[in-house]
Amino acid sequence: MGTGFGTTYVDEFGQESFVEDKQTVVIDPGHGDITERSRWLDGGSTFPPKAKLDNQNAVFEKDLALEISKAIIAELGNSCVALLTREGDIIEQQKYLEWRINFSNKNNADVFLSVHCNSSNNPEASGMYVLYSNTAGKNLAASIIAHQSTMNLFQNPLQYSEKTVIYAQRNQKNRASVLVEIGFMTNTSDLSKMQIFATQIGKEIATGVKHYLAKP
């Protein structure tokens, strides 16, 4: 939260801006970066599986995650300060996950929401689920799931996790950190929904975020 007067925010390019105090939501489109772990652009999951980045007919998780993330930002509107960790591919090498966490910390995020698309060796695996690592994250995850109607829900839609970027922020007790797995790119129905209804999915996630932020 801010100081009661205003807060300085830092965008992905390091540019600062000052706005009146509102709750801050950081939306993190998964993948789409180059890190010391990969040394090449990380496309995330793909359809068809293991597609190369130069395959113009393939679908990449990094792009679907970004499209849905932009829809979340648009729907949040002026209800909060909504920031994207990336607005395209990050082609300068970053430290794995750390740059995303630093972005969240610099902006004193009240909410950190990482957006991903899943994959599985089982083509029948389907549905959305949300990972959390602390109580605030669990409450946000429940709100997101409660307002989701486009995607089917995974058999266990709320899952505690000690992995990923959200676990690294677990000690930020007032920060609700979650990772949303929108659906499975290896399931034809899920993939079709994510491609066709990306804007609606983003709106539903944003509605869950707004309801969470509105609670005292």
Give the model confidence (pLDDT) of 59-93 as tens digits. 999 999 999 999 999 999 999 999 999 999 999 99
pLDDT of 167 reads 87
pLDDT of 196 reads 98
Q: How many CA atoms lie within 13 Å of 152's alpha carbon, on the beta-carbon side?
A: 13
Look up the CATH architecture of domain 7-11+22-214: 3-Layer(aba) Sandwich (3.40)
pLDDT of 91 reads 93
Q: In the chain, which residues have pLDDT < 50?
A: 1-5
Looking at the DSSP bridge assignments, the partners of residue 159 are: 131
Q: Are the C-beta atoms of residues 109 and 101 closer than 8 Å to each other?
A: no
Looking at the DSSP bridge assignments, the partners of residue 24 are: 81
pLDDT of 2 reads 40
Please give the Cα distance from 165 to 163 (Å, whole number): 7
Q: For the purposes of burial, counting CB atoms within 10 Å of the CB of 122, is it exposed (0-12), middle (13-18) or buried (19 or more)?
A: exposed
H helix or E strand, kind and range, residue 166: helix 164-167
Q: b/e per residue, 167-194, with b = 16+ CB within 10 A?
A: bbbbebeebbbbbbbbbbbbbeebbebb
pLDDT of 173 reads 79
Angle between the N-to-C axes of helices 188-196 and 61-76, in degrees from 0 to 180, rounded to the nearest 10: 40
pLDDT of 20 reads 56
pTM: 0.89
